Chains A and B, each alone.
Chain A
Amino acid sequence: MSAVAADGVWKYYGDFPALRAIRLSVEQGECLALLGRNGSGKTTLIRILAGLLGAQQGSVSIFGKDPRHSSAREAMGMLGHGIGVYDELSAYENLLLFANLYGVKNPGECAREWLQRTGLDHVASSLVREFSRGMRQRLAVARAFLHRPSLFLLDEPFTALDDRAIALLQGLLLEARERGATIIMSTHQLREAMELATKVALLNRGKLVFEGPRPAEMLQDPTWLYRQYGEG
């Protein structure tokens, strides 16, 4: 059973197809880097996989379940463009909230553990609105990781992160991959992504033009794939 399987997925905005006949499968433990220019449909695809958007045609399954099924959502960790934590709550309250929502055992302990891992334990009871940008990002990472997801859906995770947050995220992702988690990330930061990616997919105007193991060329020359498909 694939961790993520999309078959013939079409997504329209009115009459405009944002995704066309996407067929994609990612096996457990793989890390897929989803590439493509802005507007190529990366965010739309990730949102469909996360169950935030419905596709008009085709099917998506997460560990064999519909993405809206609660067990599929329990297995998912999602990091989107926004940080997804509340400004009016403290760091600890935020993590406690999501630990509760995900039904984590010992939510309080789990929240404290993740505050420590992300270096936020000294500000645990401060409101997020007082945080610096870097701290907010680390909290967002903790929020996405605290229920030990077996599938990560990351939409341009490295964009706008400071170097400390990038190092943290990369470390956590490597660790997650080692325990067999599956990762799908859309990204423009090819160098960071290529270190993790075992698989690459390229979207062009809503079509999947390439999907396969990461070409060896891309380690040295990350834009190789773009050039192959004439996107310079």
Chain B
Amino acid sequence: MTNMGNNILYVMGIVAGLWLARNVHEIFLGLPDEAAQGAIYRILFFHLPSWFTCFTAFLLAGVSSILYLTKKNLVYDTFAVSAVEVGTVFTVVGLTTGSIWARIIWGIWWTWDPRLTWALITCIIYAGYLMLRRAIDDPTARAKNSAVLCIFAFASVVITYKAIDWWRTQHPGAVLSFRTGGGRMDPAMESILYQNFFALLLLTSVLVVLRMRQEAMSREIEGLRRHAHAL
């Protein structure tokens, strides 16, 4: 990639870092404790955006997988794997933050609440995707097979998500105004929440681009190795 591209990436990374730092400052020092939960509610500012981020990443990975199957361009596969990897990391972040919150509020690290279960299943499904990739040597076959798996994975994640709505859940319900029509959350808090989401999304983009470069490079090395064997 060009120097220009590098610079843009660096700038994006720095902006994301600064923005997150500023949000952390705001969250910890600017906002008051919440009436019912006390200080721990602040974890929500990372918990919720992590889930948004991972869901966005998985959605884009699914779209990109469909594009790979129709266009057969390895760029889409590169994007899909990068998005899934970063998305999986954020799934783990979401699970961890949720777990910490549950320890304080519910007194337990884990409960088989459907939404928690769903998150764990999602994590396992995408871990399976990443494992499948390691088991295939030919990059073209790998791209094809993992694209198919990625589409199934997304469908399955959506169905499982839907299914949990039917169980009685003890997980806190929706708080954001676009789901509730407003009133459940202080506008200042909601604004920080969105800001943190966008900051994390920016960070995600930087990570995805970095990972895509690495993937393209490792594919190139693989190609060169085959050339060497063919000589």
**Interface of A toward B, CB cutoff 8 Å:** 12-16, 39, 54, 56, 205
Contacts and interface: CB of A to CB of B under 8 A. Distances in A.
A148 to B, nearest CB: 33
A56 B229 CA distance: 22
B33 interface: no
Nearest to B143: A14
Contact of A15 (B72, B219, B230): B219
B186 interface: no
Given A39-B230, A205-B230, A16 B223 contact: yes
A16 B141 CA distance: 13
B226 interface: yes
Contacts of A16: 222-223, 226-227, 230
A16 to B, nearest CB: 4
Interface string B129-141: 0000000001110
A15 B223 CA distance: 5
Nearest to B74: A14
Contacts of A54: 72
Interface string B216-227: 000110111011
B222 A14 contact: yes
A14 B219 contact: yes
Contact of B138 (A13, A39, A56): A13
Nearest to A206: B230
A56 B139 CA distance: 13
B183 to A, nearest CB: 54
A6 B230 CA distance: 24
A13 B139 contact: yes
A205 B231 CA distance: 9
Interface string B21-41: 000000000000000000000
B175 to A, nearest CB: 46
Interface in B181-231: 219-220, 222-224, 226-227, 229-230
